[in-house]
Structure 1
């Protein structure tokens, strides 16, 4: 516990969050370096013993990355295999044909929801954007109508549904049941994606007009024509099965006590394969066959794909770890306890508190993953001290808070702006508003769920 107490602790915490925003957004400093510097400065300012500051930060980083680094690596490999095999393209072609050209905005949100399950938002975006360009060209529709449902679907899955790393970490931090979390996340996530995606896109499409020519779109649509001529895509069934396999295994693991008698070999085995790391490992191994060998790729090609895809995740992993370190400094300095006291006296529900803390960190750092993992670290001890807290619903409200108001310090903001050929103002009107709709709708639906379950 630091030498500073009470309200002063909260003031220092607020200054730290504002410093994060300014350094990352205005001065364009690396988020990882910024989180380390601000965490150390905060520990020093609140009077933590100097020898404990780095120890505390390292403990936070280690605790966060011990689990999440494995999940990021395995999930990225699964996503890469899907991309290289043409699995994402197969899902897109099948669903666009099924929905029809008039309902292409509904097709895109479903595509993003499925494809986004095993991959980070940025990876899913890069994977699906060539498909969005081709769908827009084929159906002669705007990238607003096609693209916003796509990014909304990816964002909802990224923030709410395991096996996404941040959601998994929140499940762990809050001691939530994996099966219930996935079930509630789907109940909340599906209508949220529908409102923020196709329904909002239909509305905003009338007000945002993009330039006729998008240089990136032209490049991708030409590439797609060339690839289509030379490659046979995997089947729809096997593609969806491979992508959903980790979710299926985690559900089986959480239902192990219903399927087999506890403490037996069968029960222990089901729990083992239902562990998030094991589930993703099994799915990655299966993908080496379904998306690799069965598609004509040799061992060298599969090795190349898996080596290539891990390098870009290094900075994501470091930033997430640093977010965990920042969260640990907040806890060890007594700031978390001060927040608890304020929340207790203000009668703020734990579910709303999880959302509010994640909102503040999201706006500060620009990263939904950092916001969710850091907020879970701060709110978990509070939740443990409040009887009747529903940990599965707390995962959802924290995830919802982590998605609000994407702006200039978020990599996703610039991805959407550049690929969709928008101005900064148009990106705020479309992407930033869609993210805020997701956050608020998911919070309201989860609070509604809390009253009926």
Structure 2
């Protein structure tokens, strides 16, 4: 089987192939990843039976961990959105922060809502809130829209149970460190949000956003919103349970029941059940429709993630791991180079094909066979690797990203204005994550 630098060339060509298939020829990422699997297998001379087994094991192995988590995460998001719970959270945060801090408030709203709700859906859902606040003269509409968009984007790429970070953690073997990843993501999100508040206000003040008239109001006048407690509980419950598990691991405490409920699968399942009970619609048939919609939402994410797992499985079946082990020694400088490389790969994939989730899945699939050679044994090392992947997957959102067009369309900003403001800010966000990763590694690892 092919090894050494020719193997690296084949893998590099497979990444180029994925980029061309998805961005130039508009092939679905699932098909692009499967094509890349066969390309790597054939080009490296992998035995055909080994190739098929690697694809099957890679796909199934990742689905075994992430499948149920993504589905129940989608259930929380859909019930939160359809019930008006997300809007209730938004109103509560604005009431708590006061009128003088509207831009930080709406950014924080986005960050909270995007943990269970995909950022595209979150912006569509909450863009009406930015309209109302601007009409009341609270702040410039473009500034509000930018703050909301970047707030949503921050947690979308950094904090589980969003599918991208979950998939990245599963691919690199960090599923047991999910609590550490959540805590690290939260710590990273704070300075990133502060930076976006500044740039939202600065860049937005020179942009005139047109009024957007949606086909359907985001918040019908007769909709009775759930209480804030009911709305927020399904979001924070899984995070608290997973955090408890992390704390117990750090403290060396073993408790069978707490270990069980703090497992990410169980914690997010409990969050989904809580959402279905507290945020349920008036009729059972409508509740079933919401659940079916959650299944539909999770479907595309699952097949892309599974295909990424298959790609990672094929790479694991090559001699890449042995070659990397010989070529790269550990050490602090080597590890920092690895972090920068992880960020760069994710950034190239994101910029080229548009999807942050796909960029995270593909990058983490590439790393799956390399991580075991690095000698990492600390949860924070794996968490920072996920952060580097997420930071790269932020960099940058532009014309080939569906979220870019959602922000442009629902904010009333032109594509040109969105590009010179929102795209610029996503680049700043990503680079900030990289700086935080390097500093955290130097200080804490």
TM-score norm. by structure 1 comes to 0.87
Contact persistence 1:323–1:371 (CA under 8 A): no
Structure 1 residues 147-166: aligned runs within 5 Å: 147-166=145-164
Structure 1 residue runs of 4 or more that deviate by more than 6 Å after TM superposition: none
The residue number in structure 2 matching 1:71 is 69
Deviation at 1:125, TM superposition (A): 2.9
User: Hey, what does 1:191 align to over in structure 2?
Assistant: 191
Classify 1:338/1:109 alpha carbon distance in 2 versus 1 (closer, same or farther; 3 Å): farther
1:38 matched to 2:26: no
Q: Distance in 1 between matches of 2:433 and 2:225?
A: 35
Aligned-partner Cα distance in 1 for 2:128–2:432: 29
Q: Quote the residue 1:322 is aligned against.
A: 307
Aligned residue number for residue 304 of structure 1: 289
Contact kept, 8 Å, 1:10 with 1:338, in 2: the verdict is: no
In the alignment, the residues of structure 2 paired with residue 100 and residue 139 of structure 1 have an alpha-carbon distance, to the nearest angstrom, of 14
Partner of 1:420: 411
Shift of 1:190: 1.2
Cα distance in structure 1, aligned partners of 2:120 and 2:383: 26
Q: Within the alignment, does 1:394 sit opposite 2:367 as a pair?
A: no
Matched, 1:116 2:114: yes
Alpha-carbon distance between aligned partners in 2 of 1:332 and 1:423, rounded to the nearest angstrom:
47
Per-residue deviation at 1:321?
Answer: 1.5
Match of 2:244 in 1: 252
Distance 2:258 2:223 in 1: 38
Indicate which of 342, 347, 358 corresponds to 1:370: 358
Deviates more, 1:343-352 or 1:326-335: 343-352
CA distance in 1, matches of 2:426, 2:404: 10
The one of 423, 442, 446 aligned to 2:433:
442
Distance 2:188 2:65 in 1: 26
Structure 1, gaps ≥5 residues long: none
Which residue is 1:240 aligned to?
232
C-alpha root-mean-square deviation of aligned residues, in Å? 2.7
Tell me the matched-pair count: 436
Q: Among residues 194, 219, 231, which one is paired with 2:223 in the alignment?
A: 231
Q: Which residue matches 2:275?
A: 287
- State the 1:278 CA deviation: 0.9
The answer on 1:99 being equivalent to 2:90 is no
Q: Is the 2:168–2:361 Cα contact (8 Å) retained in structure 1?
A: yes
Show CA shifts across 1:268-320 (max 9, x none): 1111111111111111111122112xxx6232222221112321332222112
SS in 2 for 1:96: helix
Q: Verify the 8 A CA contact 1:64 1:321 in the aligned structure 2.
A: yes
Q: Does 1:12 align with 2:36?
A: no
Contact 1:31 1:365 in 2 (8 A): no
Q: Residue 279 of structure 2 aligns to a residue in which SS?
A: helix
CA distance in 2, matches of 1:278, 1:198: 35
**1:217-259: per-residue Cα shift (whole Å, max 9, x none)?**
xx45x563xx23x222222233222211110111122233578
User: Is the 1:324–1:370 contact (alpha carbons within 8 Å) kept by the matching residues of 2?
Assistant: no
Could you tell me whether the CA contact under 8 Å between 1:320 and 1:370 is conserved in 2? yes
Deviation at 1:69, TM superposition (A): 2.0
Q: Does 1:433 align with 2:431?
A: no
CA contact (8 A) 1:174 1:376 kept: no
CA offset digits 1:10-55 (Å, max 9, x no partner): 2222222222222222222222222222321232122222333333
Moved more, 366-375 or 180-189: 366-375
Question: Larger deviation: 409-418 or 335-344?
Answer: 335-344
Tell me the SS of whatever aligns to 2:394.
coil
Structure 1 CA distance for aligned equivalents of residues 250 and 329 of structure 2? 37
Q: CA deviation at 1:444?
A: 0.8
Cα distance in structure 1, aligned partners of 2:405 and 2:315: 30
- SS of the counterpart of 1:234? coil
Q: Compute the TM-score of the two structures, normalised by the length of structure 2.
A: 0.88
